[in-house]
Amino acid sequence: MISAERSQSQSPRSPAAAGAPFLTISVTDPVKMGTGVQSYISYRVITKTNLPEFEGQEKIVIRRYSDFEWLHDRLAEKYKGIFIPPLPEKNAVEKFRFSKEFIEMRCQALDLFVNRIASHPELKQTEDFRIFLQADEEKMDRARSYETGIFKKPSDFLQMFKDVQSKVSDVVLGKEKPVEESTPEYEKLKNYIFELENHLAEAQKQAFRLVKRHRELGQSLADFGKAIKLLGACEGDSLEKVFSEVGSKSEMLSVKLQREADNLLFHFEEPLKDYVRSVQSIKATMVDRANAFRQHFDLDQERKYKELNLEKLKFMNPEKFSETEVEFRELKADSEEATKRFEHIVAVMEEELARFQEQKTADIGLAFHEFAKGQAKLAKDIADAWRSVLPKLEACSTS
């Protein structure tokens, strides 16, 4: 049973005080289901908790990637402003799709995903999260297809209509450029996020290459070791023996290099990739914020405009006035609503950013630690291996 490493280290320790609330989740045990084009991976999601909102102490459900996606999308829709924890990439190159590495990494990333939700003060209390963790497979299937299918909620239609409306009025009113919020602090933040992604992507790319280099060096060491052994066999006597030892060490180190390559991939490269995904999640939130801003701005403009008209109507056409006044009040309410939404996003983002920085420092700090640890161990193994064979070489005589 392959279990993501983090969940192992988080196996519930008995809470310090009995009754202290806990919620631990692990995503494990990826299993290939189905055949051919229809095949997919299913994961076991185990929830252990003593929180009253949940049904029972322990619940195990089977989920697939699209279920995780459903959860992500629902949360993203409803909780604008929050940096929704990122999902691992959806598609993979066909032949890579079911490789052991890929499956393990995805499992690890999904585990991280649910655990981040579980540790977010707001997200962990959502209904959607509870459904995800507890609903039986049938109910989950239904929920999922409802969302991704052709069923669009009526409110969506209204929203789209409104968007078109505001666009039209923009043109009519001569404001064609999309309006953006442009405070200096926010500008700075936007630039920071975009540039950060570039730097991280570059680091991740190099980390990935480094993994490959480890594999290549491992391979060439193995080949070299074999060749040295054969060379020694030609010489015979004492030389053959010592050559054979050197060759064996070479082959042994090749194995260690392959293992370190795996280690690097899981504990250094993947966290970097995760960092990139997190930043992309922030960018998505920024889009939401921009949309919210535009709505707030547009409705605000509209309200001001209508307010002026209303004043005129009061004196010129009292009958129409009361009708229009009702409309106006609705518009005012909408506008205030939109403004509240925007301001909410701004406030939430502030908190989220602080949280993000803290969390990232810990995540990446750990990744750096693992990187250094792995490299130190590898180099030590290399040094030890060669040191052990050196005295034999030096003692060897060629007479």
Partner 1 sequence: MMSSTALPELAAGDGDGYMTLSLAAATTASEYASVASTFDPLLSASPASPPTHAAFSLSPASSSFVDPPSYADVAASSSPHYASGSSSASPRSTRAAGSEYAFIAVSDPAPEAEPAATSLVPGSTPTYISYLVTSVRRGEQRRHAVRRRFRDFVTLADRLAEAFRGHFVPPRPDKNTVESQVMQRDEFVAQRRAALERYLCRLSEHPAIGPSDELRIFLQAEGKMPLPSSTDVASRMLDGAARLPRQLLGEETVSAPHDVVQPAKGGRDLLRIFKELKQSLVSDWAGVKPPVVEEDMEFLEKKQKLQDWEQQLTSASQQAEALVKAQQDMGETMGTLGLALIKLTKFETEEAMYGSQRIRAADSKRIATAAVKASRACRDLNTQTVKYLDTLHEHLGIMLSVHTAFNDRASALLTVQTLMSDLASLQSRIEKLEAAASKIFGGDRSRLRKVEELRETIRATEDAKCSALREYERIKENNRSELRRLDRERKVEMLEMLKGYVKSQAVYAEKIVEGWEIVEEETSGYARRADNLAW
| 255 lines the binding site for partner 1 (CB under 8 A) | no
Give the Cα separation of 110 and 88 in Å (integer). Answer: 7
Q: Toward partner 1, which CB reaches closer, 53 or 137?
A: 53
**Is residue 175 classed exposed, middle or buried when 0-12, 13-18 and 19+ CB atoms within 10 A define those classes?**
middle
Q: Which of 229, 237, 230, 248 is nearest to 398 (CA)?
A: 237
Choose which of 78, 139, 167, 213 interacts with partner 1 (CB under 8 A): 213
Choices 51-59, 93-101, 212-220, 341-349; region in contact with partner 1 by CB under 8 A: 212-220
Contact 44, 29 (CB under 8 A): yes
3-state DSSP call for residue 224? helix
Give the Cα separation of 61 and 135 in Å (integer). Answer: 8
Q: Toward partner 1, which CB reaches closer, 129 or 371?
A: 371
3-state secondary structure labels for all residues of 58-118 = EEEEEEEHHHHHHHHHHHHHHCCCCCCCCCCCCCCCHHHCCCHHHHHHHHHHHHHHHHHHH
Q: Toward partner 1, which CB reaches closer, 331 or 364?
A: 364
Joined together, the tokens standing for residue 66 give 């699209």
Buried b (16+ CB within 10 A) or exposed e, 119-135: ebeebbebebbbbbbbb
| 227 lines the binding site for partner 1 (CB under 8 A) | yes
Using CB under 8 A, which residues numbered 363 to 382 contact partner 1?
364-366, 368-373, 375-376, 379-380, 382
**Minimum gap (Å) between residue 170 Cβ and partner 1:** 34
Choose which of 108, 115, 166, 339 interacts with partner 1 (CB under 8 A): 115
| 226 lines the binding site for partner 1 (CB under 8 A) | yes
237: left (phi over 0), alpha (psi -120 to 50) or beta: left
Choices 3-11, 38-46, 60-68, 317-325; region in contact with partner 1 by CB under 8 A: 3-11
Identity of residue 266 = F
Using CB under 8 A, which residues numbered 117 to 136 contact partner 1?
118-119
**Minimum gap (Å) between residue 68 Cβ and partner 1:** 17
Choose which of 180, 235, 330, 337 interacts with partner 1 (CB under 8 A): 235
Q: Which of 207, 200, 191 is nearest to 360 (CA)?
A: 200
Using CB under 8 A, which residues numbered 32 to 61 contact partner 1?
none
Give the Cα separation of 64 and 60 in Å (integer). Answer: 13
Q: Toward partner 1, which CB reaches closer, 88 or 218?
A: 218
Q: Toward partner 1, which CB reaches closer, 95 or 387?
A: 387
Using CB under 8 A, which residues numbered 166 to 205 contact partner 1?
188-189, 192, 195-196, 199-200, 202-203, 205
| 395 lines the binding site for partner 1 (CB under 8 A) | no
Q: Toward partner 1, which CB reaches closer, 62 or 382?
A: 382
46 forms bridges with which residues in the sheet? 26, 60
Choose which of 96, 234, 315, 318 interacts with partner 1 (CB under 8 A): 234
Choose which of 50, 239, 244, 318 interacts with partner 1 (CB under 8 A): 239
**Minimum gap (Å) between residue 155 Cβ and partner 1:** 34
| 233 lines the binding site for partner 1 (CB under 8 A) | yes
Choices 45-53, 80-88, 168-176, 391-399; region in contact with partner 1 by CB under 8 A: 391-399
3 forms bridges with which residues in the sheet? 28
**Minimum gap (Å) between residue 26 Cβ and partner 1:** 9
3-state secondary structure labels for all residues of 268-319 = HHHHHHHHHHHHHHHHHHHHHHHHHHHHHHHHHHHHHHHHHHHHHHHHHCHH
Choose which of 221, 265, 313, 348 interacts with partner 1 (CB under 8 A): 221
Give the Cα separation of 231 and 228 in Å (integer). Answer: 5
Q: Toward partner 1, which CB reaches closer, 77 or 370?
A: 370
Q: How many residues bind partner 1 (CB under 8 A)?
A: 76
